[in-house]
């Protein structure tokens, strides 16, 4: 099928784009990578009157490391650019590892960070990963600007707190603390297919081996990226023993997430998967954290 | 609504100027306006890979782009692979290894694998299978496509003089 008619606009600055959106509101759609929007137009699930193309806005495409602060990513930064960025590899390695799970080369060459977050597919990688990394997002409209923490941004399946006149401008990922560690793991039927279940774990290991700041976030564990705060809290202040890991994984998988059943897998199977993947992600984090501590110890 | 946009683009090395409505898909522009019918259309939602082209050198789904977005950019379609009447080594390998039967999926596989081989001159079988995981073929069962890709990779390495004698004869 083909898109219904619309008026195509290609503003040359963010300000001009925001003015257009303020004028046309929900009748206008931002066009970022188009990898979710254009299928919806082709199937005529969406029939916007206006399409505002963001692809000319080079000012929204950047990957910056700011020492003492963190990593700043422009909303129009493409997966392909993130995948090949040394800054991401070094300062957001979990994102570096997660990106190749997204679809295929031909989708990653176009799809964008801001598009993935704004689209808010519960099965997508970057909403979960940026939530685990305690990122915040900068939203701007013609008249105002605000930062929203990732965990407050997603409200349901394909739903966010964004207003129709807002544009996701930037993602800020804070610098990890000393001893910071992570694990990310997901499973789908075939590479690039819709994920069955994914988990992103972040924590810091203290020099004495106790765990702090644990966060567990689930991809496709609920209609939006789902945190498991009780399971995560149960890990803090303790050594990351296998026993604690299994207990936390059990609590998260069987009490804190709420996966759906569909043609690909039952809810029960997804919980089982979450139980297993959480353990693996936490063991990966333990390994990385232990290595980080001994490196820091050796450096001191 | 049906306002036309003037675009200047470069298709297979040739400058092209055209007037297109905003909603025209790049795939339809390529096939119906330019009559370059090598680019095939299967699903129009990004999953079959048949419509893959190179957009500024990167593999992209032409069914998920608008023709207006070609303005100021370079596009290569399957018709641009052969040069001076000679097929690309990957096309030769597809021929030699029966990498196609009906041929519907073939342009998409070629346009996915040409940039892949440029980045991975010596891939193993698993990497090739991963690279084509976004392209569907209903005929071959993929084995012959994988074989053709590995053959093309070897021949391209040999041509570039990067392979030692023992490997070349294997
Ligand atoms: C075959 C296929 C497989 C896929 N597999 C995966 C996968 O495994 N994992 C995954 O995560 N995704 C997958 N996707 C989706 C892909 O990641 C999309 O790129 C992503 O969902 C949307 O990003 P986009 O830049 O393409 O946005 P678009 O499609 O252009 O836009 C999506 C929506 O977000 C809005 N929007 C875009 N940018 C902004 C912004 N900066 N501010 C405010 N609103 C904005 C648009 O108006 C639109 O409503 C797949 C897509 C395809 C076609
Ligand atoms: S027609 Fe474009 S991916 Fe199927
Ligand atoms: S050769 Fe027929 S679909 Fe691939």
Q: In the predicted model, what is the mean pLDDT of residues B105-118?
A: 98
Query: Which tens digit of pLDDT belongs to each residue from A165-196?
Result: 999 999 999 998 889 999 999 999 888 888 99
Characterize B92-115 residue by residue with b for buried, 16 or more Cβ atoms within 10 angstroms of its Cβ, and e for exposed.
bbbeebebbeeebbbbbbbbbbbb
Whether the pLDDT of residue B56 is over 70: the answer is: yes
Mean pLDDT across A86-108: 97
* pLDDT band, residue B161 (cuts 50/70/90): confident
* Tens of pLDDT, residues A119-168: 999 999 999 999 999 999 999 999 999 999 999 999 999 999 999 999 99
Give the best residue of B134, B135, B136 to mutate against chain A (max A CB count within 10 A): B134
Partner B contacted by A297 (CB < 8 A): no
The most distant pair of C-alpha atoms in chain B lies apart, rounded to whole Å, by 64
User: What pLDDT does residue A191 have?
Assistant: 83
pLDDT higher than 50, residue B168: no
Q: Choose which residue among A103, A194, A195 to substitute to test ligand 1 binding: the one with the highest number of ligand atoms within 8 A of its C-beta.
A: A103
Confidence at residue A298, expressed as pLDDT on a 0 to 100 scale: 74
Q: Under 8 Å CB-to-CB from A26, ≥6 apart: which residues?
A: A164
Residue count (chain A): 300
Q: What percent of chain A has pLDDT over 90?
A: 92
Rounded to 5°, the CA angle A64-A67-A69 comes to: 85
> What are the extents of the domains in chain B?
4-80, 89-163
List the domains of chain A with CATH numbers: 7-53 (3.30.43.10), 58-174 (3.30.465.10), 180-299 (3.30.390.50)
Instruction: Determine phi and psi for B53, rounding to 5 degrees.
Output: -135, 175
**From the candidate CATH numbers 1.10.150.120, 3.40.50.300, 3.30.70.20, 1.20.120.80, the one assigned to the domain spanning B89-163:** 1.10.150.120
Q: Six-digit token pair at A85?
A: 């960025």
Which pLDDT value is given to residue A300? 52
Task: Compute the distance from residue B51 Cα to the ligand 2 centre, in Å.
Answer: 5
Residue B37 has pLDDT above 50, yes or no: yes
Query: Minimal CA–CA distance to A2: which of B76, B23, B58?
Result: B23
Q: Please return the burial class of A143, using the count of CB atoms within 10 Å of its CB with bins 0-12, 13-18 and 19+.
A: exposed
CA distance B77 to chain A (A): 14
**Considering only CB atoms, which residues of chain B are within 8 Å of chain A?**
1-3, 5, 21-23, 25, 28, 44-46, 49, 52, 55, 58-61, 63-66, 68-69, 112, 115-116, 130-131, 133-134
Phi, psi of A188 (to 5 degrees): -135, 170
pLDDT of amino acid B2: 66
* pLDDT-derived band at A299, boundaries 50, 70, 90: low
Question: Is the pLDDT reported for residue B150 higher than 50?
Answer: yes
Tell me, in angstroms, the distance from the centre of ligand 1 to residue A194's CA: 13
| Measured distance CA(B135)–CA(B142) in Å, rounded | 10
For A188-221, write each residue's pLDDT tens digit.
988 888 899 999 999 999 999 999 999 999 999 9
Interface touch B63/A80, C-beta < 8 Å: no
- Ligand 1 environment, Cβ below 6 A: A 29-37, 75, 102-103, 107, 111-112, 114-116, 118-119, 121, 124-125, 167-168, 192; B 46-47
Residue A242: both structure tokens together: 């296998």
Cβ of residue A34 closer than 8 Å to a chain B Cβ: yes
Mean of the per-residue pLDDT values of chain A: 96
The pLDDT of residue A115 is above 50: yes
Taking residues B82-101, what's their average pLDDT? 96
Q: Which two tokens stand for residue A243?
A: 């026993």
Position B167 pLDDT exceeds 80: no
Q: Which residues of B touch A106 (CB under 8 A)?
A: 49, 52, 58-61, 112, 134
Looking at the domain that runs over B4-80, which CATH code has it been given? 3.10.20.30
The answer to whether residue B72 scores a pLDDT higher than 70 is yes
Residue B170 has pLDDT above 70, yes or no: no
Q: What is the mean pLDDT of chain B?
A: 94
């Amino acid at each position: 099928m083909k898109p219904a008619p619309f008026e195509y606009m290609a503003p040359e600055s963010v300000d001009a784009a925001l003015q257009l959106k303020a004028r046309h509101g929900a009748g206008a759609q931002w066009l970022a990578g188009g990898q979710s929007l254009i299928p919806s137009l082709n199937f005529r699930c969406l029939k916007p009157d206006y399409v505002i193309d963001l692809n000319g806005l080079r000012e929204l495409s950047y990957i910056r490391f700011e020492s003492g602060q963190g990593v700043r990513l422009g909303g129009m930064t493409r997966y392909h650019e993130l995948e090949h960025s040394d800054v991401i590899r070094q300062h957001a390695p979990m994102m570096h590892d997660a990106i190749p799970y997204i679809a295929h080369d031909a989708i990653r060459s176009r799809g964008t960070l801001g598009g993935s977050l704004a689209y808010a597919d519960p099965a997508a990688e970057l909403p979960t990963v940026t939530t685990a990394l305690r990122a915040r997002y900068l939203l701007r409209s013609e008249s105002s600007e605000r930062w929203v923490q990732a965990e407050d941004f997603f409200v349901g399946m394909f739903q966010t707190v964004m207003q129709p006149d807002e544009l996701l401008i930037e993602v800020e990922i804070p610098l990890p603390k000393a001893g910071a560690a992570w694990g990310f793991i997901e499973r789908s039927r075939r590479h690039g297919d819709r994920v069955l279940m994914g988990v992103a774990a972040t924590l810091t290991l203290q020099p004495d081996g106790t765990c702090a700041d644990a966060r567990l976030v689930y991809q496709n564990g609920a209609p939006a990226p789902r945190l498991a705060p009780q399971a995560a809290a149960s890990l803090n202040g303790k050594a990351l023993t296998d026993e604690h890991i299994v207990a936390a994984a059990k609590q998260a998988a069987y009490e804190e997430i709420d996966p759906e059943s569909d043609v690909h897998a039952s809810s029960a199977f997804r919980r089982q998967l979450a139980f297993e993947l959480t353990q693996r992600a936490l063991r990966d984090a333990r390994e990385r954290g232990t290595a980080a501590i001994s490196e820091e110890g050796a450096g001191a | 609504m049906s306002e036309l946009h003037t675009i200047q683009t470069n298709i297979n090395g040739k400058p092209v100027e055209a007037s297109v409505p905003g909603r025209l898909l790049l795939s339809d522009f390529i096939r119906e306006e330019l009559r370059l019918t090598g680019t095939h259309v299967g699903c129009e939602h990004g999953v079959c890979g048949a419509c893959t082209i190179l957009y500024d050198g990167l593999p992209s789904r032409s069914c998920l782009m608008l023709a207006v977005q070609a303005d100021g950019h370079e596009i290569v379609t399957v018709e641009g692979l052969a040069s001076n009447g000679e097929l690309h080594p990957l096309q030769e390998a597809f021929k030699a290894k029966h990498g196609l039967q009906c041929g519907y999926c073939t342009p998409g596989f070629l346009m996915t694998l040409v940039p892949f081989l440029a980045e991975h001159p010596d891939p193993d079988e698993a990497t090739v299978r991963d690279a084509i995981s976004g392209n569907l073929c209903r005929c071959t069962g993929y084995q012959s496509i994988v074989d053709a890709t590995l053959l093309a990779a070897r021949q391209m390495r040999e041509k570039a003089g990067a392979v030692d004698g023992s490997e070349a004869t294997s």
